[in-house]
Structure 1
């Protein structure tokens, strides 16, 4: 996890100067929920299972292996004013609203249902 945070901080520093990438990523509201996570993160696995159980359509990206989506996630977080110093996975883009797992995982899951379309 420390490796992921270091990579994320490095990519944010690279991405903050890249206007082309910022312009290429659309930050409009999506029809689907996007879950940015890691296949080695139990919170990410539990979040996917939670959404599947409730038959909520979502797209999942493993940011450990998909560096393009990792960078996309970081830029979205940065634009939304989130600090990536304390990044906690999963990060969910809920129709344009970003929600990050914190200390209360059950509360995080409830936000996914309360805030869905």
Structure 2
């Protein structure tokens, strides 16, 4: 009986950790944009259509997230003087809409570099 209880406890811990990992993966996809940017709105619609979870920050409304985006861009070697929205943080990989938009959208769900 004790072995069964130990097994159940360990199983529930493992499931909780799996759930935490799954939630952190969802939060690793961030879209920085503006609600006045048609590319940003199309990107949000595309991600929703593909059932891809993401977090969206309107940088016009949230100065903290604007600074966060600029910091991430700087660390990634992207010039903040030529920002092209939306800017994406895909599990730590930072890129922006600086290619043909249809290629940009397809890249959102791919695992290779543009």
TM-score range, shorter chain: 0.7 to 0.9
Superposition CA RMSD, Å: 1.3
Aligned to 1:84: 80
* Normalised TM-score (structure 2): 0.73
Match of 2:94 among 91, 98, 102: 98
Residues 63-95 of structure 1 show CA distances to partners (whole Å, capped at 9, x for unaligned) of: 001000000000000011101121100001001
Match of 1:43 among 36, 39, 42: 39
What is the aligned length?
Answer: 87
User: Which one scores higher on RCO, CA 8 angstroms, separation ≥ 6?
Assistant: 1
So what's the TM-score if we normalise by structure 1? 0.71
Give 1 or 2 for the bigger CA radius of gyration. 2
Mapped contact 1:77–1:98 kept (Cα < 8 A): yes
TM-superposed deviation, 1:40: 0.1
Q: Name 2:108's counterpart in structure 1.
A: 112
Residue of structure 1 in register with 2:4 after alignment? none
Residue aligned with 2:84, SS: coil
Write 1 or 2 for the structure with the bigger share of helix.
2
Structure 2 Cα separation of the partners of residues 40 and 115 of structure 1: 28
Secondary structure of 2:82's aligned partner: coil
Unaligned runs of 5+ in 1: 1-29
Q: 1:59 aligns with which of 55, 58, 77?
A: 55
Which stretch shows the higher mean deviation, 40-49 or 102-111? 102-111
Q: Structure 2: any 5+ residue segments left out of the alignment? A: 1-23
